[in-house]
Structure 1
């Protein structure tokens, strides 16, 4: 969700005050791009970022809630397969290898570019989506009939390959850390909503339906993935008044999510629900970066109970 100008200013002021009160953390966070950034520095930054955002302490030796465990995973679970899954360039290949399905369930890549200057916009179709392959939320949609300002687009997306835009260096989500930066051009998908499975140790337990994704009107509803009953829960987005009929191919989506999630303690498997089918969207290992309260709060612990933490992998 986009913050208002007032919310952004308020956030920055609170962050400045917090940093001033915790100079050791502020120094370590400022050095996160350097080779000298250590495991202890990482743990310090993860603890303090959690404290700043969640307004409570994080004891990495004693975690129980969903948000706490996601932050534990940032520090101690560094499986390089997450790099392949999080990278929008390589994720489709991982999907095909794990599911044995063809590319009909994948959003087609039109082009992959090392920089904005490489893109020949005259060769792109009338509709497409530009995305950063190592970040979250960075996308630009072009629809048929849009007045395309090529230079304006180049200027807007040029920073997407700068190290400072790598999602790892904002919330320490390990899967993004070692991705080679690219700008991806995907086919435009006209979808009804996104259906995203929350998978714990390989088992899809919940899903939510996200409407109006990446807009100010975004909203979502949670469901039990096995009983299909709606859950009274809000997490980052308000609930939607829209009702859905469970797709006839829900079982196929569930089975695919189970295959993709089989090797990980937690991952969210996202699909686009189109008018007559579905397509794989992405795999997300740190839902809301592990920094979003639940309403009601009890679900933070309920979700957390389902994650069996693996042995530390540094």
Structure 2
């Protein structure tokens, strides 16, 4: 029932107007709930055990400790899908940025006349809601798309996740060139998890639009035999640009205790995707559970 209502709210105009008044009440209670209490309750519900913030041991416990204790203006800039571009250009160079088509604070600018004829992705800069993929402008319901974007601009992802970096981002719409291979497919993105400035493992997600699977690889590109939320998929060869991506990720990671650095590879050309500071918002179960403790032991917190 909850999932059905969520889909109605997110995907239909009627559902939004019917459910939004109840969401406003729900959001009010979210806002007045203290961060620590909210995080502890949500952790217990999803993970099945109490969150130990005084002596965190597992990876997920430490991610939630970081939510409460690791906050800076740099985190806000780096989580902003528009302003992070300036940070990345400064750290590793603007040649790694995906071409920007448009950025705006109003949905009125999202019309076919303002967009190129090549494929693009339209997204908001302040949450993790994905984006609108446009391969052919004539195939898009623009009125519905603008409504979806307008709704996203009004939301503050912080209150439902308590990931502080999203709280003070100034909402806007970002349009970037859509990266596709010669067959028109979106390339893999390599999510490089860095602990204390060093790469520990890389996450590769497969078939996200159909049958989402996920593989983890260690720093030597050896498959890690565990499932993290999703089942394992087909094995992926180490990209030819792996060493370069590792170097770039670790340059960025020097500024953070923990960060996930995402890259795309297009015919040996590397493009930066995004930065994430609380993967799976610290609620991602590992199977077997050993890996939650194992990765947790590798992440050092300033406690």
TM-score by length of 1: 0.83
Match of 2:293 among 291, 297, 301: 301
Q: How does 1:1-314 map to 2 (within 5 A)?
A: 8=3, 30-33=28-31, 37=32, 41-99=34-92, 101=93, 103-126=94-117, 127-144=119-136, 146-162=138-154, 165-190=155-180, 191-213=186-208, 215-225=209-219, 227-241=220-234, 243-310=235-302
Q: Which runs of 5+ in 2 are unaligned?
A: 7-24, 181-185
User: CA offsets, 1:82-136, max 9 Å, x none?
Assistant: 111110011111111112x2x3311122111112123343120132111111110
User: CA offsets, 1:166-213, max 9 Å, x none?
Assistant: 221111011111100011111111142111111001101100222234
Deviation at 1:264, TM superposition (A): 1.1
State how far apart, in whole Å, the 1-side matches of 2:69 and 2:256 are: 13
State how far apart, in whole Å, the 2-side matches of 1:261 and 1:28 are: 36
Deviation at 1:274, TM superposition (A): 2.1
CA change 1:289–1:202 in 2 (3 A) is same
Deviation at 1:289, TM superposition (A): 0.3
State how far apart, in whole Å, the 2-side matches of 1:305 and 1:30 are: 37
Greater shift after overlay, 117-126 or 45-54?
117-126
Q: Which runs of 5+ in 1 are unaligned?
A: 1-5, 12-26
State how far apart, in whole Å, the 2-side matches of 1:197 and 1:146 are: 36
Equivalent pair of 1:131/1:185 in contact (CA under 8 Å): yes
Equivalent pair of 1:194/1:211 in contact (CA under 8 Å): no
Deviation at 1:236, TM superposition (A): 1.8
Greater shift after overlay, 253-262 or 148-157?
148-157
State how far apart, in whole Å, the 2-side matches of 1:86 and 1:207 are: 19
